[in-house]
């Protein structure tokens, strides 16, 4: 008897999308033909020296690295590449920007690659390629990581690729995270992550981003540049106040009568966070976010169901202007 897919199980227990985005202050996307294995960087046809360099750079840099390919390209395409397209985006509120172009593999094996990735997470992008303002939508289709990503992600990516208005701004990607929310979508350069989008919604999100708008907040998992409570608070404000500005909100942690930057990963242990969300027009809100238990569900297909937690915005109140 086949086990239910993780995306079906997640829906059945009512697991919310908000607060589930992976955390990264920057993203490096590298074009690579061919299939992606469970661990895409290691189990792909990247040249060995590039794989080793990326592995040596480490994962705790604040910059996540993903592989991407043209939508519909056959997964068995093994042609060698010594140069590849790239996109490198810094995603923090108020500082989102991206560079793209072609990069030689020799640049990816430089001994200071780790320092480059750390600097990118702090907003210092290297002089690779050129600056671009064109939004990029990345759709996870990696079946080796989770079958839901292929079954849900590929039709979405193919629909966008078949539409002349969006075809040049979408790529298949190796693994974003959160297969149970498939199809999962990463929007660069702002680092907003979506789940359970249908093709019409995805098209509207991408076209809206070109116009400086962030649409369909009900499908928004969060912005990758902050921890889960901050993601939940920002989604709550967008939903409650119909805020569409793509980069209009910043989220700060309230500590007593002060506000401080949010960490990339939540370091509290009491399941409670008081958050201040600020709009670029001066408005501000205080959001109380709490953690609660969910029924057991599998994290991905093939895994045993286990209890999990989620964050929820319990109250949203206007705060004094931060100007």
Tens digit of each residue's pLDDT (9 = 90 or more) over 73-120 = 655 666 666 678 999 999 999 999 999 999 999 999 999 999 999 999
Burial (CB count within 10 angstroms: exposed 0-12, middle 13-18, buried 19+), residue 309: exposed
pLDDT at 8 over 60: no
Closest CA relative to residue 210, chosen from 137, 111, 154:
137
Residue 203's alpha-carbon distances to 162, 165, 167, 208, 262, in angstroms, are 11, 9, 10, 8, 31
**Mutual angle of helices 48-57 and 113-121, in 10-degree steps:** 50
Number of H helices, E strands in the chain: 7, 15
Q: pTM of the full predicted structure?
A: 0.92
Per-residue pLDDT at 300: 66
> What pLDDT, on the 0 to 100 scale, is given for residue 1?
39
Structure tokens at 304: 């045993």
Query: pLDDT tens, 11-54?
Result: 656 688 999 999 999 999 999 887 776 666 776 778 888 888 88
Predicted confidence (pLDDT) per residue in 161-173, tens digit: 999 999 999 999 9
What would the mean pLDDT of 287-314 be, rounded to a whole number? Answer: 82
Q: What is the mean pLDDT of residues 265-289?
A: 92
How far, in Å, CA of 121 to CA of 61, rounded?
Answer: 7
3-state secondary structure at position 107? helix
Number of Cβ within 10 Å of residue 260's Cβ equals 11
In the chain, the largest separation of any two C-alpha atoms, in whole Å, equals 60
């Amino acid at each position: 008897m086949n086990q239910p897919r993780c995306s079906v199980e997640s829906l059945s227990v009512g697991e919310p999308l908000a607060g589930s985005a992976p955390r990264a202050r920057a993203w490096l996307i590298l074009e690579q033909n061919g299939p992606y294995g469970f661990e895409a960087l290691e189990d792909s046809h990247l040249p060995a020296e590039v794989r080793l360099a990326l592995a040596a750079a480490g994962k705790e840099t604040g910059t996540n690295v993903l592989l991407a390919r043209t939508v519909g390209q056959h997964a068995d395409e093994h042609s060698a590449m010594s140069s590849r397209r790239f996109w490198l985006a810094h995603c923090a509120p108020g500082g989102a920007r991206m560079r793209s172009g072609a990069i030689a593999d020799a640049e990816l094996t430089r001994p200071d690659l780790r320092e480059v990735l750390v600097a990118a997470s702090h907003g210092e992008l290297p002089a690779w390629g050129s600056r671009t303002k064109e939004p990029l939508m990345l759709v996870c289709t990696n079946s080796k990581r989770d079958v839901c990503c292929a079954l849900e992600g590929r039709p979405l990516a193919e629909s966008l690729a078949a539409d002349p208005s969006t075809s040049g701004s979408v790529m298949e990607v190796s693994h974003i995270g959160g297969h149970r929310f498939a199809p999962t979508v990463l929007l660069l350069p702002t680092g907003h992550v979506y789940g359970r989008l249908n093709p019409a919604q995805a098209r509207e999100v991408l076209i809206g981003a070109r116009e400086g708008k962030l649409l369909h907040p009900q499908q928004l998992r969060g912005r990758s540049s902050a921890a889960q409570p901050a993601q939940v608070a920002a989604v709550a404000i967008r939903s409650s106040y119909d805020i569409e500005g793509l980069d209009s909100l910043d989220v700060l942690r309230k500590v007593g009568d002060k506000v401080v930057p949010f960490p990339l990963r939540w370091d509290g242990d009491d399941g409670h966070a008081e958050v201040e969300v600020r709009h670029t027009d001066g408005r501000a809100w205080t959001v109380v976010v709490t953690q609660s238990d969910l029924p057991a569900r599998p994290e991905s297909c093939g895994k045993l169901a286990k209890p999990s937690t989620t964050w929820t915005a319990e109250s949203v109140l206007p705060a004094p202007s931060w100007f």
